[in-house]
Amino acid sequence: MDVLKADPLHPLQAGFGFGGYIPRALDAAAVQDLPALSPDESWMRLALLESMEGIGRSSPNPPVGAVLVKEGRLLSKGATLAYGDRHAERVALDAVTDRSQLVGATCYVTLEPCAGIGKQPPCVEALLASGISRIVVGARDPHPKAAGQGLKALTQAGVAVETDVLGGECRAWLFPFLAWQQLQRPVVIGKWAQTLDGHLADDHGRSQWISGNKARAYTHWLRQKYDAILVGVGTALADAPSLTVREAAPPLHRQPHKIIFDPKGRLCNGQSAVFHNLRQGLQKSGPVLFHAVETPHWKPEPWMEAFKDVLEPVLMPPQCSWLEFLRLLDQQHRTRFGRELQSIMVEGGAQILTLLVRDELLDALQVFIRAGILGGSRHRIGRLDPRDGASAPPTNPMLDLNARHDFQLVATQQLGDDVVLECAHRRFTFWN
């Protein structure tokens, strides 16, 4: 492999990335001046924008969008709006009151329709019964209940099928769902803001704010897209973050689950401001602050009584690997919410991100780069804690350039004085 090679996976239309159409995440009106595309691409873009309206609501079902069109006229739109609820295609079909309009119509859908029974009957049945004559699909779905079966049934019934229209854009938006199917463990997205010289904070540990307003608004949008946010205890103590969704353009559908990685239980010695801020956006029946600690070091402190409705310890066995830890979090989530933990956005700091790089567990990256130089010698990805022998070259896999360049560039977007680079690990087969 070439050193420092980073091929784009698929040339995406300008503005599209993991967050959908990124300018829409910052300003709902941004969709008014979209560049011209072919008619099929324009309708698919509308389906994708429709799916963005349901951000944060469908997980672990994919956030799909669909539109129905006849003779160049929009009949209806739909999105998957809740886990276990009607899929986008059915929502769009049900919205057409005059069913005769559906005969000969085209359905544009961002993800291949399902053919098997889950919490809902198969979408393919509804599409076949509707009388549509053409279906245009964005991304193929490797899920066993789809995986080409539905498209085969539609073709056999005489429905014209086209796939991969804005396929890259749809796959980027559906990344957590598609990646989860391949990995069968929570998908880990590393997110950080850095200066041009690679610093996540200055040498005093100050990082608020490296990125500007627009980059922060996009981060908030992403916080509701992914199922949980994880930060290291170093970050929780230094920044007292609230980790809420605040600044993105509406809709703001959910506040994320928050996970603090804290092997030594240092969070318990933190100041009350840390807890006060972390408690923002948490509700009794909703998001939970998972506090991950190693068992031998941890015992509940008396003050924790006040947070028992929101603070849930995940007891990590000593020497727990990151993979085991992800599975523990998933287990905890399933027990509490009855569904898998599909994706986690890790928002730093540099130590946590470095550990995840070391263990090859970062599945995607969203790196916000600020047009500024900070200097200093700390808070960079790749500076491992001395207990890992980071300074001994052969034990630091990050020093082997040929072995390390595992990511492909998916999208870039300028956000004020920042640029976000979005990359996916090369391990994913669904891009090809």
Ligand X SMILES: NC(=O)c1ccc[n+]([C@@H]2O[C@H](COP(=O)([O-])OP(=O)(O)OC[C@H]3O[C@@H](n4cnc5c(N)ncnc54)[C@H](OP(=O)(O)O)[C@@H]3O)[C@@H](O)[C@H]2O)c1
Of the candidates 266, 339, 380, 404, which one interacts with ligand X according to CB under 6 A? 266
Q: Is the peptide bond before 60 cis (omega within 30 degrees of 0)?
A: yes
Is residue 150 involved in binding ligand X (CB under 6 A)? no
Is residue 293 involved in binding ligand X (CB under 6 A)? no
Question: Closest approach of Cβ 206 to ligand X, in Å?
Answer: 6
> What part of residues 211-250 is at the interface with ligand X (CB under 6 A)?
231-235, 238-239
What residue is closest to ligand X based on CB? Answer: 349
Q: In terms of Cα–Cα distance, which of 105, 97, 108, 94 is closest to 131? A: 105
Secondary structure class of 239 (helix, strand, coil): helix
Q: In terms of Cα–Cα distance, which of 9, 2, 4, 44 is closest to 364? A: 9
Question: Closest approach of Cβ 406 to ligand X, in Å?
Answer: 21
Is residue 388 involved in binding ligand X (CB under 6 A)? yes
Question: Closest approach of Cβ 274 to ligand X, in Å?
Answer: 12
Nearer to ligand X, 200 or 424 (CB): 200
Question: At residue 394, what is the residue type?
Answer: P
Tokens of 376: 């200093």
Span near ligand X by CB under 6 A; candidates 164-172, 258-266, 336-344, 406-414:
258-266
Nearer to ligand X, 38 or 321 (CB): 321
DSSP 206: -
Catalytic annotation, pick one of 89, 112, 347, 422 = 89
Nearer to ligand X, 37 or 320 (CB): 320
Span near ligand X by CB under 6 A; candidates 52-60, 129-137, 301-309, 351-359:
351-359
CB crowding 86-107: b at 16 or more within 10 Å, else e = bbbbbbbbeebeeeebbeebbb
Secondary structure class of 116 (helix, strand, coil): coil
Secondary structure class of 278 (helix, strand, coil): helix
Residue 11 to residue 410: CA distance in whole angstroms: 8
Is 89 in the active site? yes
Token look-up 């980027």 returns 172
Nearer to ligand X, 59 or 235 (CB): 235
Residues 248, 224 contacting (CB under 8 angstroms)? yes
Question: Closest approach of Cβ 136 to ligand X, in Å?
Answer: 39
Is residue 66 involved in binding ligand X (CB under 6 A)? no
First to last CA, the chain: 18
CA distances from 37 to 16, 34, 40, 51 (A): 14, 9, 8, 19
Secondary structure class of 300 (helix, strand, coil): coil
Span near ligand X by CB under 6 A; candidates 25-33, 60-68, 199-207, 306-314:
199-207
Catalytic residues, by residue number, are 89
Residues forming contacts to ligand X in the complex (CB under 6 A) are: 192-193, 200-201, 205, 207, 210, 231-235, 238-239, 261-264, 266, 347-352, 355, 379, 385, 387-388
